[in-house]
Structure 1
Amino acid sequence: MAREKGPKRERRPRTRGQKIRRGILIGVAVAVAVTGGVAAWGYTHLQGNLKSIDIDKAVGPDRPAQLPSGGQDILVLGSDSRSGLNGDVIGQHEDIGARSDTAMVVHIPKGRNSAVVVSIPRDTLVDRPACTTPQGRQLPAAHGVMFNSIFSVGGPPCTVKAVEKMTGLRMDHYVEIDFSGFKGLVDAMGGVDITVPQAIHDKYTNLDIPAGTSKLDGTQALAFVRTRYSVGDGSDLGRIQMQQQFLFSVLTQLRASDALTDPVKLYRIGDAATRAITTDSDLGSLTSLLDFVRSMKGLNAGTLQTVMMPVVYDTAHYGRVDPAQPQDSELWQALRNDRPIPASARTSPAHGTVNTGTANGG
């Protein structure tokens, strides 16, 4: 039996308040959808920027044990490939081929509230262990090769293996920063303030800054960390101190600026940073990279200590240096045991005092 339809109910007109509330709800829903879409796009975009390499697989099982204390060590390399964008940035007149122009071992004790950065002079003569290149080519062991040549012929895996052999420390992570990306990162930060006691005029890097404090853009910053002929004795050892000074300045400026609270600026920095770096596969996702960065939130310029690997000038090869003993061994042994840097490692026989302490003079 058909059901009789009741009288049609009249829809009561919405009040002005109801219309306003409905409009707000719709607006909120649209805003959530839009910002969620933007956030999803941003995440996907940054993730797409990342490049990684499986260091564990490439290096193989013959490696130092991880620190029992729970500390970690990271190998940070600055790559000066002379091709593509890097060639445009640093000049095509230089030798073709990728080299590790900057090398630092970053030691982070358990708790991750402090760090020690050890710079390895690129002209150090070291023993290269037998290793496998990223292309699968087997490289035989070699004695007394220049440190930065290892990256040229063997890439990241051979460099990691050589550093582990030199230090007895397992490199838990690997981060490579290319020069063209470095320039973009500094520009995204809005420049970096650097103070120098004397004017620098370097015709090789085209750096021209007065004595005192200058705000360096990306191009100038790249020239600053590569300058050596116009500062100190013109060696790579003097350049290392400038690189460490620049690192302090970046950390200080990031902490003091609004970058961490300004979403637009933070995204620009994140975009530039993810374009600039290649990591090991454990840091190869945006989630794992962000988790790692957050775990070091207590690290700042005041808790960062820098030192150069102690070296002596090689007597047979002009301009080359060798690890100084026993200072070199004492330095790496201290890090393996999470002990303070020994006084012997704070002075390099080849270049006098090289430790810059912390930003607050500690």
Structure 2
Amino acid sequence: MWTLTGALSAVATLGGVVVWQNTYELREEKVSLRHDGKLLDGVLARPQRGEGPFGLVVFVHGDGPVDATQETFYRPLWESFARAGYASLSFSKPGVGGSEGDWLDQSMTDRADEALAAVAWARKRPDIDGRRIGLWGASQAGWVLPEAAAREPGLQFVIAVSPAVNWLRQGRYNLLAELERDGATAQEKEAALRRRETTLDLLKSGASFAEYRTAVGDVGDMTPGRWAFIARNHRSDATADLRAMRGTPLLLVLAGHDVHVDVADTEAVYREVLPAESLTVARYPDAAHSLVDHDLERSDWRLTATAVFAPRRLYTDRFLADQARFVRQLDTGREAP
């Protein structure tokens, strides 16, 4: 009986820790936006205290079927922005959660339209300061943020986390980096590059998914919808849009262990195209592409335990605090860190 009592007490204690660690200093409100004839389901997360008007960070997702909270992992970021006096706004991608449509039907321009629709929606709210709205986006958002900012010069800032510049260069880098990480032989790398060239030739010729399947055989996790999405977007390059958004303050966040994005290429292009006074570069040498600590990401049990018991610690050291500091210092007129 005493053993059972002790076990139940331990479970109750652990349960309390989980609840405490997953409780954030936020006021979350379910919101919706009708855009392009479809209803998008989202969350507005405001600071826990005060009535505003608050500054606002509009979230732009990376690749995949992402819901408004990124399966709760946006909340540590929302909390960090809330402590700097900013609300956060995020909508589930079309076809995810309560949002209508299909995200695989979108181009990067469609995604920029959606981000700007969220900005316009937010500017109608009395608790949001329309002069203090910026965009935060990760990974694939690297092709969305510059276009949106080029079209909306009134944005206060952009935060680009692990963005690539050119879709095709990024794909080649990602392929080789993952092969290298997995210990592939020279012959395996050559075969993968040949397959890639075949795929690119098919994309350039406008081939159907059936033609792609016939040409390569095993298509892996490729689907007709995914093939159409890649065909629609594989020519994406952010350089011209970056040049067009020259005056918008931008925080470029780069990870030291990024197998998805060539961070050296990204930084070189951003520094070449953007004025030095508008660009802040933050490097996190111990981080993976997701800005989770690299060593933590490589251990499944540690990653799971941290996600459950200490989700704020998923992100690499300084990342959350630096995000908040960037927007706070824009408000005070000082240079960003």
Q: TM-score, normalised by structure 1?
A: 0.25
Larger radius of gyration: 1
Higher relative contact order (CA 8 A, sep 6+): 1
Q: TM-score, normalised by structure 2?
A: 0.26
Higher helix share: 2
